Protein backbone atom coordinates (compact mmCIF):
# COMPACT_ATOMS: atom_id res chain seq x y z
CA UNK A 1 0.00 0.00 0.00
CA UNK A 2 2.82 2.45 0.88
CA UNK A 3 4.61 1.69 -2.41
CA UNK A 4 1.42 2.27 -4.41
CA UNK A 5 0.77 5.58 -2.65
CA UNK A 6 4.40 6.67 -3.17
CA UNK A 7 4.20 5.83 -6.89
CA UNK A 8 0.91 7.72 -7.19
CA UNK A 9 2.44 10.80 -5.53
CA UNK A 10 5.54 10.65 -7.77
CA UNK A 11 3.43 10.15 -10.89
CA UNK A 12 1.15 13.04 -9.94
CA UNK A 13 4.03 15.40 -9.19
CA UNK A 14 5.97 14.33 -12.28
CA UNK A 15 2.91 14.84 -14.46
CA UNK A 16 2.61 18.47 -13.43
CA UNK A 17 6.23 19.13 -14.34
CA UNK A 18 6.10 17.86 -17.92
CA UNK A 19 5.88 20.36 -20.75
CA UNK A 20 3.13 19.89 -23.33
CA UNK A 21 5.55 20.57 -26.17
CA UNK A 22 9.13 19.78 -27.06
CA UNK A 23 11.05 22.82 -25.85
CA UNK A 24 14.20 21.67 -27.65
CA UNK A 25 12.67 22.03 -31.11
CA UNK A 26 11.70 25.01 -33.23
CA UNK A 27 8.98 27.29 -31.86
CA UNK A 28 5.42 26.82 -33.09
CA UNK A 29 4.57 29.83 -35.23
CA UNK A 30 1.38 31.63 -34.31
CA UNK A 31 -0.56 33.49 -36.98
CA UNK A 32 1.13 36.88 -37.32
CA UNK A 33 -0.60 39.79 -35.63
CA UNK A 34 -0.83 42.65 -38.10
CA UNK A 35 -1.42 46.11 -36.66
CA UNK A 36 -3.34 48.16 -39.22
CA UNK A 37 -4.17 51.78 -38.42
CA UNK A 38 -7.47 51.61 -40.33
CA UNK A 39 -8.61 48.04 -39.54
CA UNK A 40 -7.16 47.29 -36.09
CA UNK A 41 -5.67 43.90 -35.25
CA UNK A 42 -5.74 41.09 -37.79
CA UNK A 43 -6.04 38.49 -34.99
CA UNK A 44 -8.16 39.06 -31.89
CA UNK A 45 -7.83 35.65 -30.25
CA UNK A 46 -5.06 33.11 -29.84
CA UNK A 47 -5.53 29.71 -28.19
CA UNK A 48 -2.30 28.22 -26.87
CA UNK A 49 -1.10 25.72 -24.24
CA UNK A 50 1.21 25.93 -21.27
CA UNK A 51 4.59 24.32 -21.70
CA UNK A 52 4.79 24.78 -25.48
CA UNK A 53 7.30 27.02 -27.23
CA UNK A 54 5.75 29.73 -29.46
CA UNK A 55 6.84 32.47 -31.83
CA UNK A 56 4.50 35.47 -31.98
CA UNK A 57 5.24 37.77 -34.92
CA UNK A 58 3.83 41.29 -34.64
CA UNK A 59 3.85 43.44 -37.79
CA UNK A 60 3.11 47.17 -37.85
CA UNK A 61 1.89 49.10 -40.88
CA UNK A 62 3.78 52.17 -39.63
CA UNK A 63 0.81 54.54 -39.97
CA UNK A 64 1.21 55.61 -36.36
CA UNK A 65 3.28 54.88 -33.28
CA UNK A 66 1.96 51.76 -31.55
CA UNK A 67 2.89 50.49 -28.11
CA UNK A 68 1.57 46.95 -27.77
CA UNK A 69 0.99 45.79 -24.21
CA UNK A 70 0.14 42.37 -22.81
CA UNK A 71 0.96 42.86 -19.11
CA UNK A 72 -0.84 39.84 -17.65
CA UNK A 73 0.36 37.53 -20.43
CA UNK A 74 3.95 38.67 -19.95
CA UNK A 75 3.72 37.97 -16.21
CA UNK A 76 2.63 34.41 -16.99
CA UNK A 77 5.08 33.35 -19.70
CA UNK A 78 8.81 32.79 -19.97
CA UNK A 79 10.16 35.07 -22.71
CA UNK A 80 13.07 33.31 -24.40
CA UNK A 81 13.98 36.09 -26.82
CA UNK A 82 12.76 39.04 -28.86
CA UNK A 83 13.95 39.37 -32.44
CA UNK A 84 13.95 42.72 -34.25
CA UNK A 85 15.38 42.94 -37.77
CA UNK A 86 17.44 39.78 -37.28
CA UNK A 87 18.85 41.07 -33.99
CA UNK A 88 18.05 39.14 -30.84
CA UNK A 89 17.35 40.46 -27.37
CA UNK A 90 17.46 38.00 -24.43
CA UNK A 91 15.26 39.58 -21.73
CA UNK A 92 15.82 36.92 -19.00
CA UNK A 93 12.14 36.03 -18.79
CA UNK A 94 10.28 39.35 -18.65
CA UNK A 95 8.99 41.93 -21.09
CA UNK A 96 6.89 45.05 -20.57
CA UNK A 97 5.92 46.24 -24.06
CA UNK A 98 6.98 46.40 -27.69
CA UNK A 99 6.76 49.69 -29.52
CA UNK A 100 6.76 50.54 -33.22
CA UNK A 101 7.73 54.01 -34.42
CA UNK A 102 7.69 52.89 -38.07
CA UNK A 103 6.60 49.87 -40.06
CA UNK A 104 8.35 46.64 -39.22
CA UNK A 105 8.14 43.32 -37.42
CA UNK A 106 9.04 42.00 -33.99
CA UNK A 107 9.11 38.32 -33.03
CA UNK A 108 8.55 37.28 -29.42
CA UNK A 109 9.57 33.72 -28.50
CA UNK A 110 7.91 32.50 -25.33
CA UNK A 111 6.59 29.59 -23.26
CA UNK A 112 3.29 30.05 -21.36
CA UNK A 113 3.59 28.87 -17.77
CA UNK A 114 0.13 29.58 -16.32
CA UNK A 115 -3.34 28.97 -17.81
CA UNK A 116 -5.72 31.90 -18.09
CA UNK A 117 -7.18 34.54 -20.34
CA UNK A 118 -4.84 37.45 -21.10
CA UNK A 119 -5.57 40.65 -23.02
CA UNK A 120 -3.19 42.34 -25.45
CA UNK A 121 -3.87 45.88 -26.69
CA UNK A 122 -2.60 49.26 -27.84
CA UNK A 123 -3.51 51.74 -25.06
CA UNK A 124 -6.09 54.28 -26.13
CA UNK A 125 -6.85 52.44 -29.37
CA UNK A 126 -8.96 49.53 -28.09
CA UNK A 127 -12.13 51.09 -29.57
CA UNK A 128 -10.35 51.11 -32.94
CA UNK A 129 -10.03 47.31 -32.92
CA UNK A 130 -6.63 47.14 -31.26
CA UNK A 131 -7.41 44.62 -28.56
CA UNK A 132 -7.29 40.84 -28.39
CA UNK A 133 -6.99 37.89 -26.03
CA UNK A 134 -4.67 34.97 -25.45
CA UNK A 135 -6.50 31.96 -24.03
CA UNK A 136 -3.93 29.70 -22.40
CA UNK A 137 -4.97 26.11 -21.55
pLDDT digits 0-9 by tens, 19-30: 555 665 689 999
The whole-angstrom separation of Cα 129 and Cα 137 is: 25
Superfamily of domain 22-136: Cupredoxins -  blue copper proteins (2.60.40.420)
pTM of the model: 0.81
Neighbours of 68 (CB within 10 A): 22
Where are the domains positioned within the chain? 22-136
pLDDT digits 0-9 by tens, 9-49: 333 344 454 555 566 568 999 999 999 999 999 999 999 99
Q: How big is the CA angle at 50 (ends 85 and 30), to the nearest 5 degrees?
A: 35
Amino acid sequence: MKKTLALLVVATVSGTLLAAGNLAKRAERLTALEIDGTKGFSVTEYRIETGKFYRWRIVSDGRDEYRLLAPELMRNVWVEQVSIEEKEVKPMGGLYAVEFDNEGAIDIYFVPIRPGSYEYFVPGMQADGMTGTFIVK
